[in-house]
Structures are given as C-alpha cells and as structure tokens.
Structure 1
Amino acid sequence: MADAILYGVAQKIIESLGSSTFKQIGSIWGVKDELEKLNNTVLTIQAVLQDAEEQQVENHHVKHWLMKLREVVFDADDLLGEFSTHVFRQKVMDGDKMAKKVRIFFSRSNQLVFSFKMASKIKATRERLNEIATDWNNFQLKLERPLKTQDVTKDRDQTYSYIGEEEVIGREEDRKAIIDLLLDFNVKDNVSFICIVGIGGLGKTTLAQYVYNDKIVHDYFELKMWVCVSNDFDVKKIVEKIIESATKTKPENYEMDLLQNKLRKQLNPKKYLLVLDDVWNENEERWCNLKRLLMGGARGSKVVITTRTKLVAEITGTIKSPYILSGLPKDQSWFLLKQMAFGEGQDTIDPDIEAIGMDIVEKCQGVPLAIKTIGRVLYFKTTKDEWSYIKNNELTNVTQLKNGIIPVLKLSYDHLPSYLKCCFAYCSLFPKNYLIDKLTLIQLWIAQGFIQSPENNKQLEDIANKYFMDLHWRSFFQEVEKDEGMNTKFKMHDLIHDLALSVSRSECALVNSNANNVIEKVRHLSFSFANVSFFRKNLSTLVKANKIRTFILACDPWVGVGETMEESTLKTLISSFRYLRALDLHGLKINILSNVIGTLMHLKYLDLSSNDIEVLPSSITKLVNLRTLKLSMCVNLKELPIDIKKLVSLKHLDINGCKNLTHMPCGLGKLTSLQTLTLFVVSKGLVNSSKHCDGLVELNRLNDPRGKINIINLAGVKDAISEFKAANLKEKQYLSELELRWNPEGNDGAIACDD
C-alpha cells in the first residue's frame, strides 16, 4: 500500500526527463531516443499505478508485480540523478555555458568511457522497465481512474478556511458532566482521579481540552497541567513532563529523587488539575508508582485521564465509575458533516443529498474524526450520484465501529491527489505524538522530490506549504503551535498515524530498539532516539538497507546519551548509504565529519545541528544538490567551508547559535537562492583575507532571505554607512526580522521587525 511514494518517484522521473538539462544531455550523448522511450514507459506505468494499488489488496500477483516495479523505478531515479549530478558538478567547476562545457567535459577519454557506461545503463534500465510494464495488461489494470478516486478541484470561499475545525460540536452535556465531577468537593481523598473512556477518534482529547480551558475550571484550580502520555508509560518521563507543564521550563536531566522533590514543591499545597491524555498503561504497579507522587495536592485536586480501555479506568479511576464517552447523536453528526462537506454560508441543501448524508453519518456511528475525514472527501462531490457512490460502494463494509474507523479514514486517503498521498505516507517516519516542525517536513518532502515543479516562478517551499495546508484542511494534521510564516508545529491523531503506517509499511520504517524491523528493501529510516551505542551495535543490520533515501532522527537534540559518535561508525554509515536524499545526524556529539560525506551525490538535506564539529570537511562542497544545511548550535564550529559558493543549490543555511564562528567565507553572496540565513558574522580579522568575505557587501545579491537574520560583530565595521548601503538590506522584502549586534557577548543588540 506504499505505492503513493512509488507514484511520487515516477512523477519525479517524468519531470527530470522533460527538463532542459536532460534534453541537452540526450542530444550530446546520442541517447535522446533512449531517454524518450524511458519517459514513455514510465508515463504508462504511472497511469496504472492507482488501479494496481487498489487491486493488490486481493490480488497477490499484482502485489508481486508492484514489488518488482518498485525496485526498477527507484533504480531508474538513482541513475538519472547520477547523470544530472555529474553534469551539474562540471557546470559548477567550469562556468555557466553548459552545452559547450559538457562537450569539452565528455571529449576527455575518461569521460567518454563514463558516457558509454551510462548510456548502456539507461538502455538496460529501460529494458527492465519494459519487461515489467508489459505485464500490466495481464492484470487488466485500468489506465483511467474510476469515479471514486478522481482528483477533483474546487474553488473555496477562502483559502484553507478551517470550517468548524476549532468548534466543539455536540459535547455540551459531556462538558457539564465532567465539570461537575471536577468541582465536586465531597470526596474522600485530597486528590481524585476521573477517567474518560472511549474508542479512538471519538473526541476524548477534544472534550478534555474543552473542559481544561473552561473559565469556571480556570478560576477554580490554582495550577493546571497537561501531559500527553501515550504508549510510553515511563514514570520519570511523565514526572518531567508534569514539571515542564507546571513551570513552563524543561527540567534538567535529574535523578528521580530530585525530580520527585521538585514535583512535590509544585503540587504542595495547591489545588491542582492535571490531565493525563491518552493513557495505555495496564500495569497497576507502574500506575501506583506515579499515583504516590501526585497525592500531595490540596483538597479538591483532580487528575483527568483519557484512555481507550476500561481496564486502564479500573486501575486509575477513584470517582464512581469511569465516564464513558458516546458517539455524537445523529443530528449533531449531520451538523458536523455539513460543516465539513459544504462551503460556508450554503444554507440550501438538496433533500436527496441530505438523505444520503444522513445514511453516511449513521455508518460513521457518531465518531467525529470519521465524520470530519469523510466530510472533506464529500466537499469535492457536488452531485447526488457522487454522494451515492461514496455511500453504496465505499462505505458498505463499514458496519462495526471498532473495525470501521480505519476503513473510513483509509477512504479519505484514497481520495487524496497522488501528490498528497506520498507526502502523507512519508509522515509515518515520525513517532506517535511527536511534535513535527512544518518547515523541516517541507524540506524533507522537497529532498525526496515529492513536490511537483513550480509554475509561474513559485518556490518549491511555497508549493509544499500549500500541500501541507491541504492535508491540514482535510484533518490529517492537527495544529499544536503556530507562529508566523512556516513556524508551525503539529501532530497527527494516533489513528491517522496508524493509517500512515498502513500505507507506507514497505517503504518506511520507524526503527525499533532491536532494529529487527529494518528490511533490506526499505527506502526510508527514522529513529525516535539518538543512542550512539545503538548505531554501533546494530551497524551490520542497518547497512543491509543500503538503498535508503532517508536517515533521520525524530527526537529532540537533548534526548541522546552523553556518548560520542565514533568516526569509524559514522564513516561506515555514510559510505553504505550512497543514495541518501536526507541525512539527519543532529545531537550525536560528532567531533569529526568524514570526507566521505562528499560521495553522497544525491543528498539534498543535511542536519548536523547540536554536534561538536569544529571544521567541516572540504568535500562537503561537492554536494551540488544540497538544498538544506543545518548547523544550529554547533557551538565549536569555527568556520564554514571556503568554497561554500559551490553549493549552488543551497536554499537554507541555519547557523544559529554557532557562537565560535569568526567570519563568513568568500563567495557566500553568490548563493543567490538562499532563503534562510540565520546568522551573518562580520570578520574581526583582515577583510581582504582569502578566507574572509568582503564584509556586508556579501549580502547585496541575497534578496530572497526569509524570517530572521542576526548580524553580529558590527563593532568591526569601519565605514558603517557605506557597508549598510552595500548590503542593500532595504531590498530584502521577505525578511521579517533583522537583529544587529555590535558586541556578540554583550547586551547591545537592536532588533528591527517588519510585520
């Protein structure tokens, strides 16, 4: 079911073969016909992928066909990437007159050998694809997609107007009931425990939030705290989260004895409210270990627990019986569906469509998450026939609530455009309840080639942001923290996360502590921990997956232990994964980055943040496809690569917190595509040094930076007026914040913001 990613790779191949670069290469090498034939084959294959994805569920022959196809399509993409990178590198070395230089480049004897070798590889790959493609007729795969999965677009009244997403529908009586329990003072113990029980997607968390933010509740309790527990019932971690919620400050890595003292100081003698959201623990001893630490509050303190299982409620609850949350009543379900399925202000609804809609909400059995996702599917359906098709053909098997919720959610996935399917499936790499940074996700999507080529000079980042907002609008993402621009953090509902896992299982793996879920043909790996010893112990298992395109650490920089990543382990990892598009090594306490990093010709995203690196290897400038380089909080980093100007694709350079940087390298100003430049260090040394840039004039041609730039060491600028004129700061229209600092160690900064 991971063929959304396969479809995205096929689309990337088609775009590559249609580019001017490959047309020139084809003419020069004499392989133009081969490339055109390859393009036609991929186009045909892509056209039947949707039907093949649906048939493979019941047809094992189709499933096997897709597995074979997947390998060849990925190999073809790697081959084309290798071609374009070789030419790109030569272009960087020799200048911009591409056609002329390529001819010179390939006139050399060693390059002639290379070109013949590549030409034969193209032919071999095309023949492999043709052999597989001819089989699709045997399975009677359809070239045209049926009604139920057609990509339909529809103008909206306001772009991404989240109609009804922020409102709580049909839970007023539940809210009152829970508040009555919270305000009940006639209880035996100072601290009481209330359990809200219900199946996934029913709205337990939403109800708890509704109550938590109620004014009466706010005024009644002296202290309110919220902790998302989920599957990992680790008492120490939960205590840390409670302290962080109470103090708004993340506690240091204390031992348990110190942590419990800090917790008691926060709770005693206050009347507090604590919400423990999404609890799965059914081990009574573990619960009692936590409960003992929570008993110090004043009389009237309450702990609200949300859970899917009644056993958890039996273990934890002390107030009467658990509060069993039911589905929404039919009228409220229809009200919610209308908000999702119709434009704002549409009062008149066809009675036939309403009758069908009432049948649909009955199948959803009052589950808000199911109603919302189905509603977003129906938003693009405007006729009675289309609504009937959804009800009669796609919801017929959804008869039981427990088993029906995932098929309902899967239906919403089926109706996504193909370019959104691969983006959503990729999100399975993040753990449940992980707070995902939107900009990081967008950069990873771009690195994998999931974002379709821009039109009308739009940036890929802007198109990716539109993709994100579309998935958000369809209820696949839940916004948690929002700032201006791209600075948004979000989560996926755990059932949505289960859906992402189910549609990406053969392509993506969130590696477990034993690495036993790493298979040879997986293409994307992520780790929810940064344990250096794990990589050393499981190195032989990991390197078997030598065709991976993603290696990311889905954890905070401070999660890892204090051990330093050995250079030999790191070198083996990097050299084994030569097809990587995204590599994340943040927080591993790396001292030395091996020169082998320069062999990752496909690499577009590299995160080395929060490491102990002092100098980057010179080979890093060979990464001509690199778009994102993150070095934030590399506090020992002394300088950037001298030839950084060779990173001609670089869009994002994050060097925030690199306090030991002494200067910016010459040629930085030639990276005219930079959108992110968080820090600019004015040299304290000789400006005309071969290593140092020419001062603020390097900023002159950088007109696309966004967000914030911090310029430091301005005390070293002799002619400030001419330097600032040369920097041309007023033309940087996308810049939202500018910080000027004369002495980086002192409190002398000036901040300019442009709303």
Structure 2
Amino acid sequence: MILVTTRFQEIAKKVRATGHSIQLNGLEPEEFRKLFLVYVFDDGQCPGNKLHFLDKIMEKLKGSPLAAKTVGRLLRTDPSLAHWRRVLDSEEWETGNNGIMSALKLSYDFLPFHLQRCFFYSALFPEDYRFRSRELISLWVGLDILIPCGQNPTFEVGLRILNDLVIHGFFREEETNGDPRYAMHDLLHELALKVASNDCLSLRLPNVGSVKIQPTTRHLSISIDDLGKYDVVSGQKLKSELEKLKTRLKVEHLQTLMLFGKMDEGFVKIFGDFFGEVNALRVLHFPSMLCPVELMLHNFSGLVHLRYLCLGTRVGQMHIPLSISKFYHLRILDLVLWEGRPDMPKDMSNLAKLCHFYVPSDDQLHSDIYNVGKLKLLEELKVFQVNKKSEGFEPKQLENLTKLRELGMYNLERIDTAEEAAQAKLMEKRYLRRLTLDWDSKRSSVEPGVEAAVLESLQPHEDL
C-alpha cells in the first residue's frame, strides 16, 4: 500500500483514480484547546480575564497545530491584555487567506524587526532544507543583518537570534546523526517566500518560464536537482529559458547567489554566459561544484564586495581559488565541504575582516595561515602549529586574537621558554570555549621542567 499526503487538491485528484482521498481537518476543539493552552501558558491554565480573547483567537486558527504553536508563542511573549487585543483585532485575519496562513503572517508581523529580517532570507533555501546553524548565521552576516561590532562574537549573537526564532515557532530544532539542524514547516517556507518576494527569488531549474520576477530582486537562489544530464536538447532548452529570464532579471544588481544541487559540466558554459555581468555579490554559496568556480563566474576574481563565500567540491584535483585573498571585505569563508587540493593562498592574512573560516573536519587548512595574527576578528583557529616555519607561526601571532571561541595549539615542544609561551596571552581571550594544547608524542626529547613552565604560561581564563 502507498500512502500519499499533499496540501494541494490538484495532486489528490491525480492519484484518486487508483484509490480514495481523505480530507484531513483540524484538531477536535477540545484537543486543540489543550494544545493551544500549553503553548500560551506554562501550567496550561488561562486566567478568567483572558478567556474571551483566547476563545475568539482560537476560532480563527481552524484547529491547526502549526498555527497554535506560532500564535501561542506570540501571546506568550506579552501577557498584557492590550497585546492580546491587538492580536485579535489585527487586519491580517480579514485578508482572505485561509486561517492558517493568516495566523502565520500575523505571527511574523509581530516579530521584532531584526527577527523578521533573519526569517525573511530563509526563503533563499529550498523547501525541506535542513539548515546548519553556520549556514543561516553566515547568510545574515553576509547580508549585513548581523554586523561584527563591539566585543560580542558574531556566532554567539547569531545563535541567540536562531534560538529566538525557534522559541517563536518559526524553526524547529532536530538532530541528524548527532548533528544539530534546523528545519521549517512547508507553510512557513511558503510564508518566507511571500514576505520576501520583492527582494528574493528562488528558482527550481529547468522550469523558470512562468516565474514572476520583481525589478527589485537582489537575492537569487537556484535549485538544480532536477536538471538532469546534459545533452543538446536539454542544453538548448536551458539556454533558451535563461535568456528569457535575463531579460527580466538584472544580474548585475544581484547581491546574493546561491546554488543547490550538482550541475552536469555541460551546463557550466551556459551558466557562465548567464552570470557574466555579475559584479556586486555580497553572498556566494556554491557547496557542490564539479568544475572551478571561475568557469561558472567569469568575473569571480572581481567580486571584491563579497562578505560570505562558501565553496565545496568532491573533485580531488580542484584548487582553491588564489584570488580569495583579495576579497578584503570577506567576513566568512566556508570550505567545510572542500575535498579538493588543500593549497591555501599564502597571503590569507590580508583578509583583515574575516570572522569565521570554516574548514573540513581535519582542520588542516587552519594550520596554513601565515601571519594569522593579522586576522584580529577571527573566532576559531582549530590548528595552530607553533613555529611551523621560521616566521609567521610564533606564539605571539595569537596575541591580538581576542575574539577566539576555539583554539588548538600544536607542537608546543617547539616553545623554549615560558616567556615565549606567555606571548599568546590566552588569559585575555575571555570568549574562549574550547582549547587544545598538544605536545608531539613522538618528540625526540622531553624536558618536564620547561614543559611545565610553558603550560603554566598558557593558562586560559577561569571560565573555560
């Protein structure tokens, strides 16, 4: 037996020929009331002076558990009668949407402005996408929603925002093989697309002909999972569709370009021609490349406004673009999915605004940053090999990296004195949450007195 579920009546009609359909309604009133009360009140009990408002609002939610969650959390954030009256009297209930979408839009309208903006751009991710926290936070940083300033590390601020969106019911937190992820309900993704429609465009290739494009569109994401293999017919079809699209979309004005799925190499030239005039990008997200990024974006080396760059590949011979060391405004570099050659540009320390450099699980790319001390905003340095070379890897390189949340110091046997170790100034790194101190187990000689003095000089703050 095959069970098909859908929100769309047209799909139900297509499968009805081989079976029968059941129209699912909302929860029964009593069960819905119990659920709603739990979302609004800790003890599930409503004070008498609010019963009238509660009953009226419940009527508008049509028994939807999702609406109960978002509107319930909305009422919970402000227990005053004035707030509940504003929710009940909102014009959003009269817009003609179904009760569920009206409830979700209402919950969005009452969010603080900074949370609205952060939710808004989640429309760029595909439906049913499982977000990692770094992906969402990196996007917010790249779009200047979350700006590194003051003493607060951006990642911790971003996590607080993400947690607030979970509390308000706009994301749910789940685990995949022990890896925490965030997900959105389909209706909330639909809401994100609606509220972001003037600025954001999310395409699923090859079907782009009927897509409505606003002249104000600045952020584009493309899903290519259904593109298929390249042949002359499919290539011509895609080229024709993109040429039509280009007459309506000003690619030179794009600030965000995100690509999801793997593209057959035959389509690369078509995309390269389509994006030939891109030059104002702040965000570039290409996590599954089969060919060098320069073939997809001919002007890649000229993207000097980039704030967030994500590149990934499984092609072992692909090189990291040397031009990334010239992106002086770059705040986040994400190479977690990079399985190509690990040859980093030698002048990476030019990226003075870099806050996050995410690397594959072996963390070795961190160990290749020459003069890392220039990256004063960096929040993680998982592998720092002390005195790896004659210069550029001394303990004093760590002196001004006061924003570090994670640090790994290796080959500590190469430090000769306590004074040299003290130059790292670990005690002053008050945001440090994880610290690794490592001596090579295969070192040629052991000097307990020197190593004890070095360890004492590497003492971190007491809250670690």
Could you tell me the percent identity over the aligned residues?
A: 26
Counterpart for residue 510 of structure 1: 202
Q: Distance in 2 between matches of 1:729 and 1:495?
A: 50
Residue type of the alignment partner of 2:202: L
Label 1:370 to 1:392 Cα distance change in 2 as closer, same or farther (>3 A). Answer: same
Q: What do residues 521-543 of structure 1 show as CA deviations (whole Å, max 9, x unaligned)?
A: 41101122377977994765457
The TM-score with structure 2 as length reference comes to: 0.75
Say whether 1:736 aligns with 2:415.
Answer: no
Residue type of the alignment partner of 2:146: I
Say whether 1:337 aligns with 2:36.
Answer: yes
Residue type of the alignment partner of 2:87: I
Q: What's the offset of the Cα at 1:473?
A: 1.0
Q: Secondary structure at the match of 1:620?
A: helix
Q: What do residues 700-755 of structure 1 show as CA deviations (whole Å, max 9, x unaligned)?
A: 543433357595xx5xx863665993684954662436496969xxxxxxxxxx98
Q: Distance in 2 between matches of 1:396 and 1:569?
A: 43
Moved more, 651-660 or 501-510: 651-660
Counterpart for residue 65 of structure 2: 368
Label 1:707 to 1:482 Cα distance change in 2 as closer, same or farther (>3 A). Answer: farther
Residue type of the alignment partner of 2:333: L
Counterpart for residue 136 of structure 2: 441
Counterpart for residue 415 of structure 1: 110
Q: What's the offset of the Cα at 1:510?
A: 1.1
Counterpart for residue 552 of structure 1: 258
- Indicate the structure (1 or 2) with the bigger Cα radius of gyration: 1
Q: Secondary structure at the match of 2:26?
A: coil
Counterpart for residue 632 of structure 1: 336
Counterpart for residue 403 of structure 2: 704
Q: What do residues 376-435 of structure 1 show as CA deviations (whole Å, max 9, x unaligned)?
A: 222244344443343344465389xx8222112111111112222221111111111111
Residue type of the alignment partner of 1:372: K
Say whether 1:621 aligns with 2:316.
Answer: no
Label 1:431 to 1:616 Cα distance change in 2 as closer, same or farther (>3 A). Answer: closer
Residue type of the alignment partner of 2:326: K
Q: Distance in 2 between matches of 1:552 and 1:382?
A: 40
Counterpart for residue 644 of structure 1: 348
Residue type of the alignment partner of 1:503: V
Label 1:384 to 1:652 Cα distance change in 2 as closer, same or farther (>3 A). Answer: closer
Q: What's the offset of the Cα at 1:580?
A: 1.1
Say whether 1:356 aligns with 2:53.
Answer: yes
Residue type of the alignment partner of 2:161: Y
Question: Equivalent residues in 2 for 1:503-652 (5 A)?
Answer: 503-514=195-206, 515-516=208-209, 517=211, 521-529=216-224, 537=239, 541=245, 544-555=250-261, 559-561=262-264, 565=268, 573=275, 576-591=277-292, 593=294, 596-610=299-313, 612-614=317-319, 616-617=321-322, 619-652=323-356
More helix by percentage:
1
Give unpaired runs (5+ residues) of structure 2. 442-462
Checking the alignment, whether the CA contact within 8 Å between 2:224 and 2:263 is kept in structure 1 is yes
Q: Distance in 2 between matches of 1:572 and 1:396?
A: 42
Q: Distance in 1 between matches of 2:331 and 2:6?
A: 45
Give unpaired runs (5+ residues) of structure 1. 1-191, 201-279, 283-308, 744-753
Q: What's the offset of the Cα at 1:598?
A: 4.5
Q: Secondary structure at the match of 1:656?
A: coil
Say whether 1:382 aligns with 2:79.
Answer: yes
Q: Distance in 2 between matches of 1:591 and 1:683?
A: 33
Q: Distance in 2 between matches of 1:391 and 1:682?
A: 62
Count of residues paired in the alignment: 423
Counterpart for residue 664 of structure 1: 368
Checking the alignment, whether the CA contact within 8 Å between 1:614 and 1:636 is kept in structure 2 is yes
Q: Distance in 1 between matches of 2:392 and 2:365?
A: 13
The TM-score with structure 1 as length reference comes to: 0.48
Residue type of the alignment partner of 1:646: N
Label 1:631 to 1:658 Cα distance change in 2 as closer, same or farther (>3 A). Answer: farther
Q: What do residues 42-72 of structure 1 show as CA deviations (whole Å, max 9, x unaligned)?
A: xxxxxxxxxxxxxxxxxxxxxxxxxxxxxxx
Label 1:632 to 1:563 Cα distance change in 2 as closer, same or farther (>3 A). Answer: farther
Q: Distance in 1 between matches of 2:148 and 2:353?
A: 15
Label 1:705 to 1:682 Cα distance change in 2 as closer, same or farther (>3 A). Answer: same
Residue type of the alignment partner of 1:502: K
Say whether 1:653 aligns with 2:357.
Answer: yes
Q: Distance in 2 between matches of 1:614 and 1:396?
A: 54
Aligned residue among 459, 462, 475 for 2:169: 475
Aligned residue among 319, 323, 327 for 2:26: 327
Checking the alignment, whether the CA contact within 8 Å between 2:356 and 2:378 is kept in structure 1 is yes
Q: What's the offset of the Cα at 1:659?
A: 8.8
Q: What do residues 25-57 of structure 1 show as CA deviations (whole Å, max 9, x unaligned)?
A: xxxxxxxxxxxxxxxxxxxxxxxxxxxxxxxxx
Q: What's the offset of the Cα at 1:509?
A: 0.9
Q: What do residues 6-39 of structure 1 show as CA deviations (whole Å, max 9, x unaligned)?
A: xxxxxxxxxxxxxxxxxxxxxxxxxxxxxxxxxx
Q: Distance in 2 between matches of 1:430 and 1:726?
A: 45
Checking the alignment, whether the CA contact within 8 Å between 1:683 and 1:695 is kept in structure 2 is yes
Q: Distance in 2 between matches of 1:437 and 1:458?
A: 21
Q: Distance in 1 between matches of 2:400 and 2:370?
A: 14
Q: Secondary structure at the match of 2:30?
A: helix
Aligned residue among 179, 184, 201 for 1:492: 184
Q: Secondary structure at the match of 2:288?
A: coil
Q: Distance in 1 between matches of 2:407 and 2:51?
A: 50
Q: Distance in 1 between matches of 2:142 and 2:158?
A: 11
Q: What's the offset of the Cα at 1:569?
A: 6.2
Q: What's the offset of the Cα at 1:331?
A: 2.8
Label 1:735 to 1:562 Cα distance change in 2 as closer, same or farther (>3 A). Answer: farther
Q: Secondary structure at the match of 2:279?
A: coil
